[in-house]
C-alpha cells in the first residue's frame, strides 16, 4: 500500500516542471486553516464519488469487495483500497472538518448524543431525521441528512447497536475540530516521507535522466533520512468479528455475500489457494494448466460459452499468479444457481481434446506486457521489483511450464485433474464435500438472488448451509 505521486513531461523542461509540482505536493501541501474551504470541498467531492461507487458498472467495483473480505485482517489495506471502508472514513473526516464555532459544535454534539438514546424502528428514525432536515440550524440539518444516507448501510438486525454508535461517533468527530485534523494530516505526512519508506522509478532516455539528475537528487534530499517504522495493527478479522455481533453462530462463515438491493442480477467472486509465480513444483504447475483448459477467452472456454448462453456478462475461471489464488468470476448473471448449473454442466460434458494442452500452456504467457505503453511497462516492472517479483522468478516459472509441455501425455494428465481443480470454485461440481481451506465463496446481489443461491447451496452442500448477508456497515473500522 503506497502513496504514489507521478509526474511526466514530453521533454526535459516539462519533466522539470513536473518534478517541481511533485515537490510541492509532497513537502508543501496547503493544510493551513485559511485553506479549509478548499480542503472541505475536496473531501466532499471524494465522499460523493465513493457513495456512487455501487451505482457504476459492476465490473468496476465488485472485485474489490471480495478482496477486502479476503484481506479483512489488514486495516491498512481496507483503508487504502476498500471503498466500503473509505466511504465511512471520509464521512468521519467530513464531520471533523465541519465549519462551526466551538459553541455550535457543542450544541450539535449534544443533539447527536441525545439521538443516540432513541430506541426506534428504522421507519421511525427516518421520520425523525426527515423532521431534523428541515431545521433552521444548518449543522443539525446536515447531520440528519448524512445520518439518513448512512442508515442504508446498516442492517435491521444490528440497528439497535449501530444507531447509537453512529450518533456518538459523529458527535465525537464534530467535537474534535478541524485544527486537530490538520495537525494529524501533517503528522502522517512526516511519518510517510522517510527514505526508509521511499522508492522511485524513472522512465526516459539516458540524456533526459542525466539532465534531471540534480532536480531528482534535490527532491530526494527533502525526505527525512530515517528507516521505515512499521505500524502495528489489530489483526482481528473486521468483517467476521462484526458479523458475529449480530449473528452469534457465525464463527466460521463459509458462504457470504454483500447485499446490493439496487441490482437485478447476481455476481460470483469465488477464490481459493492456487498457484503463484514462486510455485515450480509439478503439482502446482499442473493445477495451473488444468485450470486453463477451459479458462481464457478461446472459443471453447467457459467465458465464451457462458456469454453465448446469456448466463453472465464478464466471467471466467483461472489462476491469479500474482496472488497465488484460483478464481471463478461472473457478473450480471440472470440467477446465480442457473449460471452455476450451466458452468458445471459445461465442465462435466467437456470432451477430451489433446490440443487444449497447448492452449493451456499458452495461457501461462498471457500476462506479458508487450502490448502496453513503454511507460506502463516501466512502472509495472518497478512495482514487481519492489515486491520481490524478479525476472528470475518469472522466467523460472515459464521455463518449468515449458518443461511440462514436453510430456506427450500432458493432455491426459490435465483432463484427469481438471474437475479436482475446478471443484473448490464451483459448489455442486463435486459430491458433498467440506469447503476448501482458505476458500472465499462470495456473491453480490439483491435478496432475491441470495434466496435462490442459498436454496441451491442447501441442495448440493447440505441442509445446514447458511448464506450470511453482509452490508456496507460490516466493512467500517
The residue ranges of every structural domain in the chain are 12-179, 238-475
Fold of 238-475: Cytochrome Bc1 Complex; Chain A, domain 1 (3.30.830)
| pLDDT over 90, % of the chain | 93
Give the closest residue to 58 by CA, choosing from 441, 315, 272, 295: 315
Q: What is the pLDDT of residue 350?
A: 92
The one-character DSSP state at 350 is: P
Q: CA 410 to CA 401: how far, in whole Å?
A: 11
The one-character DSSP state at 434 is: P
Q: What is the mean pLDDT of residues 150-178?
A: 95
Q: Which residues contact 446 (CB under 8 A, 6 or more apart)?
A: 259, 260, 261, 262, 263, 264
Q: Which residues contact 123 (CB under 8 A, 6 or more apart)?
A: none
The SS3 of residue 29 is coil
pLDDT exceeds cutoff 70 at 432: no
Q: What is the pLDDT of residue 433?
A: 66
Of 99 and 435, more confident: 99
Q: What is the mean pLDDT of residues 250-265?
A: 93
Q: Report CA dihedral (400, 401, 406, 407) to the nearest 10 degrees.
A: 100
Q: CA 80 to CA 277: how far, in whole Å?
A: 25
Q: What is the mean pLDDT of residues 428-454?
A: 89
Residue pair 244/250 in contact (Cβ under 8 Å)? The answer is yes
Q: What is the pLDDT of residue 398?
A: 95
pLDDT exceeds cutoff 70 at 165: yes
Q: Residues 339-354, buried b or exposed e (16+ Cβ, 10 A)?
A: bbbbbbebbeebeeee
Q: Residue 229: pLDDT band by 50, 70, 90 thresholds?
A: confident
- In tens, the pLDDT along 186-227 reads 999 999 999 999 999 999 999 999 999 999 999 999 999 999
C-alpha gyration radius of the chain? 26
Locus of grid cell 466511504: 87
Count CB-CB contacts under 10 A for residue 117: 10
Q: Half-sphere exposure of 83 toward its Cβ, with a 13 Å CA cutoff?
A: 18
| pLDDT over 70, % of the chain | 99
Extract the C-alpha cell encoding 296: 481464457
Q: CA 50 to CA 301: how far, in whole Å?
A: 35
Q: CA 239 to CA 243: how far, in whole Å?
A: 6
Q: What is the pLDDT of residue 366?
A: 77
DSSP H/E element including 307? helix 302-308
- In tens, the pLDDT along 53-104 reads 999 999 999 999 999 999 999 999 999 999 999 999 999 999 999 999 999 9
pLDDT exceeds cutoff 70 at 434: no
pLDDT exceeds cutoff 80 at 250: yes
Extract the C-alpha cell encoding 309: 448462453
- Averaged pLDDT score across all residues of the chain: 94
Extract the C-alpha cell encoding 23: 515537490
Q: What is the mean pLDDT of residues 326-335?
A: 97
Q: What is the pLDDT of residue 142?
A: 96
Q: What is the mean pLDDT of residues 363-384?
A: 87
Amino acid at each position: 500500500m503506497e502513496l504514489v505521486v507521478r509526474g511526466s513531461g514530453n521533454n526535459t523542461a516539462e519533466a522539470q516542471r513536473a518534478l517541481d509540482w511533485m515537490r510541492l505536493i509532497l513537502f508543501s501541501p496547503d493544510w493551513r486553516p485559511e485553506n479549509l474551504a478548499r480542503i472541505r470541498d475536496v473531501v466532499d467531492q471524494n465522499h460523493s464519488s465513493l457513495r456512487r461507487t455501487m451505482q457504476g458498472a459492476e465490473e468496476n467495483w465488485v472485485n474489490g469487495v471480495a478482496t477486502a473480505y479476503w484481506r479483512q485482517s489488514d486495516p491498512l489495506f481496507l483503508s487504502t483500497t476498500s471503498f466500503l471502508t473509505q466511504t465511512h472514513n471520509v464521512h468521519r473526516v467530513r464531520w471533523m472538518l465541519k465549519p462551526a464555532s466551538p459553541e455550535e459544535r457543542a450544541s450539535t454534539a449534544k443533539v447527536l448524543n441525545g439521538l443516540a438514546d432513541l430506541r426506534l424502528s428504522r421507519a421511525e428514525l427516518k421520520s425523525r431525521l426527515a423532521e431534523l432536515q428541515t431545521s433552521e440550524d444548518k449543522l443539525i440539518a446536515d447531520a440528519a441528512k448524512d445520518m439518513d444516507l448512512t442508515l442504508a448501510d446498516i442492517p435491521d438486525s444490528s440497528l439497535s447497536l449501530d444507531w447509537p454508535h453512529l450518533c456518538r461517533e459523529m458527535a465525537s468527530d464534530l467535537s474534535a475540530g478541524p485544527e486537530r485534523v490538520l495537525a494529524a494530516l501533517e503528522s502522517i505526512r512526516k511519518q510517510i516521507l522517510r527514505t526508509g519508506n521511499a522508492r522511485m522509478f524513472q522512465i526516459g532516455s539516458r540524456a533526459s535522466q542525466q539532465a534531471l539528475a540534480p532536480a531528482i537528487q534535490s527532491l530526494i534530499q527533502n525526505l527525512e533520512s530515517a528507516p521505515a517504522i512499521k505500524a502495528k495493527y489489530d489483526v482481528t478479522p473486521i468483517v467476521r468479528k462484526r458479523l458475529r455481533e449480530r449473528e452469534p453462530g457465525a464463527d466460521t462463515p463459509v458462504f457470504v455475500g454483500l447485499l446490493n438491493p439496487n441490482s437485478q442480477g447476481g455476481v460470483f467472486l469465488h477464490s481459493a489457494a492456487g498457484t503463484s509465480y514462486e510455485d515450480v513444483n509439478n503439482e502446482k504447475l499442473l493445477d495451473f494448466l488444468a485450470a486453463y483448459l477451459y479458462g481464457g477467452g478461446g472459443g471453447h472456454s467457459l467465458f465464451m460459452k457462458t456469454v453465448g448462453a446469456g448466463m453472465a456478462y464478464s466471467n471466467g475461471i483461472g489462476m491469479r499468479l500474482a496472488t497465488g489464488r484460483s478464481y471463478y468470476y461472473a457478473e450480471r448473471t440472470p440467477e446465480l444457481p442457473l449460471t452455476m448449473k450451466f458452468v458445471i454442466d459445461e465442465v462435466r460434458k467437456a470432451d477430451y481434446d489433446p490440443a487444449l494442452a497447448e492452449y493451456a500452456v499458452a495461457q501461462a504467457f498471457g500476462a506479458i506486457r508487450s502490448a502496453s505503453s513503454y511507460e506502463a511497462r516501466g512502472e509495472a516492472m518497478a512495482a514487481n521489483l519492489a515486491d520481490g517479483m524478479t525476472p528470475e522468478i518469472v522466467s523460472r516459472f515459464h521455463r518449468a511450464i515449458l518443461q511440462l509441455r514436453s510430456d506427450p501425455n500432458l493432455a491426459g494428465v490435465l483432463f484427469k485433474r481438471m474437475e479436482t481443480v475446478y471443484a473448490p470454485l464451483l459448489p455442486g461440481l463435486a459430491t458433498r464435500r467440506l469447503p476448501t481451506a482458505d476458500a472465499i465463496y462470495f456473491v453480490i446481489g439483491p435478496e432475491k438472488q441470495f434466496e435462490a443461491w442459498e436454496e441451491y447451496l442447501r441442495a448440493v452442500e447440505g441442509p445446514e448451509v447458511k448464506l450470511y448477508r453482509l452490508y456496507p456497515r460490516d466493512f467500517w473500522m
